[in-house]
Structure 1
Amino acid sequence: MRLTAFFATIAAIVSVNAIAVPRDVWVPRIISPDSTTVWTMGQTVNVTWDNSNPPAVITKGSAVALNKADIPIPKYNQPGGFLAEDFDLLTGFVEVTVPTDLESADDYSITLFGDSGNRSPMFTITN
């Protein structure tokens, strides 16, 4: 009998948590970098996005990750390694320092994480 009560309690908790509060998905358009952008290693640059029409509640933390050839660079796609993290998405920009351990190439992109991850167009990073 106690086991049945235990499972009934667990089922009630799970069902209450399953009634999710509707979440808005906000995918702000990345303004910079764009396909004409050239970043220089070691330089401090702004990542900017359109911060109009945000949802009432932003449900996830924020981060800017770096990708090469549309593949996440592991070192720059994890907590503590992001180009930036835990900033206010409502500001519409965040300053980042371009890593110095990259190869010069024209197939980099960033991913802006918040309510939804969205990727910039490919751009150039040079030494």
Structure 2
Amino acid sequence: MIMNGLTNFICFTVLSFFALVTAFPVVREVYTPPVILPDASTVWVVGNQYNVTWNVTDAPPLQNITDRTGFIVLAKGGDEAWDNNTLLELASGFSILSGTVEVTCPKVPPANDYAIVLFGDSGNFGNLFTIAE
């Protein structure tokens, strides 16, 4: 009789816990903050350091972001149909909520069709900008 009551109590407690957990599901969000800098008026010079900046004012709570670690690549060509041959990694391992990260402009040919791609949950292209020697 005591064992039956104890078993019922344990079962009730476990089931209540599961009911409570499922009543408050964790909401996961794909977060793609817009890149602010560099913008269309920006000119980078090869070898110099610059800040890549993105807007985090509308960020969901950190625990809700599916991928909190960001990385930044430099894309060339002016459209989002890039492949791995047109990308150069500039930074990685930073918090997507930091809002800025310093990078060094790599040695690339001068052109006005470069863009920053910010990855966390997904790739977010910035505006086209210019790189000069």
Q: Under a length normalisation based on structure 2, what TM-score does the superposition of the two structures give?
A: 0.69
Number of equivalenced pairs: 104
Partner of 1:65: 73
Contact 1:76 1:82 in 2 (8 A): no
Percent of residue pairs identical: 43
Q: Show the counterpart of 2:97.
A: 90
Unaligned runs of 5+ in 1: 1-19
Structure having the larger proportion of residues in strand:
2
**Change over 3 Å in CA distance of 1:89–1:76 after alignment to 2:** farther
The equivalent residue for 1:74 is: 84
Is the alpha carbon distance of 1:37 and 1:91 closer, same or farther for their aligned partners in structure 2, counting shifts above 3 Å? same
The Cα shift of 1:25 comes to 1.9
Structure 2 unaligned spans of 5+: 1-24
Superposition RMSD on alpha carbons, in Å? 2.1
Distance in 2 between residues matched to 1:113 and 1:48, nearest whole Å: 13
Instruction: Flag as ranges the 4+ runs of structure 1 deviating above 4 A.
Output: none
Question: Equivalent residues in 2 for 1:23-42 (5 A)?
Answer: 23-42=28-47
The letter for the 1-side match of 2:93 is D
